[in-house]
Structure 1
């Protein structure tokens, strides 16, 4: 191989090396800054193909997607000076590449550590002005919203990141106070249960008394109506009997005597002492009753 060919090959290799070190690509999921001897000269480089001066410029790329920082669980004190163990996390993304690089040197773990510290500071301030009830359930959503707004301002100003959301994963009582709190909560629930039972018993007694009164009224009205109907029936029966008796008094007297004989002689050992001329034997002596 001639010297000229060798020179051409070396020149081509050198050109390829220079070009490869002069071109860089920023992806859609990335954010980047250009440095010149360690100083940021071009922040917030947009996605696409870009050029740089080899050995003079250096490019630092960061993840531009929404990231998650899992803050370490910390002990915070409420307004009543009660301790709570709060475990939280936050969603964030790089917003100001210059501030982000200056504050964290472009290191994602360092950014997460600094942001985690600020999350705990914000939680400490928010929990300190609320009671346990408000932190756990009453104002939990409001606490998260206030924390996200305040944290976003601080993080954007100091770290160059935008806080998308902040959430509490878990709130626990410290082991040294959980037992006493449980006993107090149990006592409060039992007191509330007793009050509900007493109110229910009072309501039940009122309903039972009203039902008993209604039953008494209904029974009295029914008895009254029954007596009226029975009286009307007896009056009708008496009228029928009277009418039948008046239509044939002799036959009525005869049937009454037969019924009296039947009732008197039912038993085998019955003894009756009567005068022979007693009215009781009137129809036995004469089928016409003595007429």
Structure 2
């Protein structure tokens, strides 16, 4: 009974000591074995491992790729147009022994604080060497690579590898938005004014060319019309001359009828002439013409008044 009373506690103590001397390293972690605060072993492979109980302790660190959001910072590019940049970085603890020596018991929190300082410094340096248009353009991937490459060297002192650096957003400070929008609006209005001026100039050229074309077309049409009219009049006169040349008496008769048509109208002024005037030759009968030829004394002359004509 007495032996069993001593054996059972001894077994418990041995079991506790045995369990406390074992530790398991997860495949997502790396482990350091510390003895009185000094690193005595590094366990990077997953599995079961042993340590001296009560004397040694195990500290584990995440072996996965971690993400760190950098606090928004204000940068001043070459054109003095201030910008607020929001960035983040992805990193991994590459050397846990150096990492422990660099940050001590502060762990990941202390490392990220120092990492923030490195990233902010590199971001200000790189973005301050270019213009704001380069930062705001879609071709800023090269700038992010420069920030990452510049931070890699400093981060290695912490035992950390910088995998990537990205700019999440790049915005104007709130106090500068109104002035920037006013300047952008003024630039757009100036461009619109220039476009309208060029449009009006082009319209003036088109209208002037159209007016010139109209004048040329009308002038050419009138010229052709005058030529055609002249040729037609010439043909008409040639036809009349040929017709009248065949019968001069008919030509005289036609001219007299034309004169009667034009002269004996109700709206004409009153004409006073003797009945023996040659104007009335074709209005007299053959008998009247013979009598008027025999009678030659003025007292025996008869007077005839036609409508619209007064005789003396």
**TM-score after normalising by structure 2:** 0.65
Equivalent position of 2:87 in the other structure: 89
Equivalent position of 1:275 in the other structure: 274
| Corresponding residue to 2:48 among 28, 51, 62 | 51
Q: State how far apart, in whole Å, the 1-side matches of 2:247 and 2:168 are.
A: 106
Equivalent position of 1:60 in the other structure: 60
Aligned residue runs from structure 1 range 1-291, under 5 A:
22=22, 24=24, 26-27=26-27, 30-37=28-35, 39=39, 41-42=41-42, 45-46=44-45, 50-53=47-50, 55=53, 56=56, 58=58, 60-62=60-62, 64-65=64-65, 67-79=66-78, 82=80, 84-98=82-96, 99-104=98-103, 107-137=107-137, 140-167=140-167, 169-173=169-173, 175=175, 201-246=200-245, 250-251=249-250, 253-267=252-266, 271-286=270-285
Q: State how far apart, in whole Å, the 2-side matches of 1:269 and 1:233 are.
A: 31
For the 8 Å contact 1:90–1:163, the answer to whether it is kept is no
Equivalent position of 2:293 in the other structure: none
Could you report, residue by residue, the CA deviation over 1:87-136 in whole angstroms, capped at 9, with x for unpaired residues? 22123131514244444458444443322222211122123333444444
1:208 deviation in Å?
4.4
**1:61–1:206 distance in 2 versus 1, CA, 3 Å:** same
**Mind listing any 5+ residue stretches in structure 2 that lack a counterpart?**
290-312
Secondary structure in 1 matching 2:226: helix
Q: State how far apart, in whole Å, the 2-side matches of 1:231 and 1:156 are.
A: 104
Q: State how far apart, in whole Å, the 1-side matches of 2:171 and 2:266 are.
A: 96
For the 8 Å contact 2:111–2:158, the answer to whether it is kept is no
Secondary structure in 2 matching 1:238: helix
**Mind listing any 5+ residue stretches in structure 1 that lack a counterpart?**
none
**1:113–1:223 distance in 2 versus 1, CA, 3 Å:** farther
1:62 deviation in Å?
0.9
Secondary structure in 2 matching 1:64: coil
Q: State how far apart, in whole Å, the 1-side matches of 2:20 and 2:214 are.
A: 102
**TM-score after normalising by structure 1:** 0.69
For the 8 Å contact 1:32–1:62, the answer to whether it is kept is yes
Could you report, residue by residue, the CA deviation over 1:173-217 in whole angstroms, capped at 9, with x for unpaired residues? 462x65556666666665555555555555554554444444443
Q: State how far apart, in whole Å, the 1-side matches of 2:20 and 2:251 are.
A: 142
For the 8 Å contact 1:62–1:106, the answer to whether it is kept is no
Secondary structure in 1 matching 2:50: coil
Secondary structure in 1 matching 2:273: coil
**1:101–1:270 distance in 2 versus 1, CA, 3 Å:** same
Segment drifting more, 267-276 vs 192-201: 192-201
1:169 deviation in Å?
0.7
1:36 deviation in Å?
4.0
Larger gyration radius, structure 1 or structure 2: 2
**1:191–1:23 distance in 2 versus 1, CA, 3 Å:** same
Secondary structure in 2 matching 1:74: strand
Could you report, residue by residue, the CA deviation over 1:118-157 in whole angstroms, capped at 9, with x for unpaired residues? 2211122123333444444498454333222212332234
**1:223–1:153 distance in 2 versus 1, CA, 3 Å:** farther
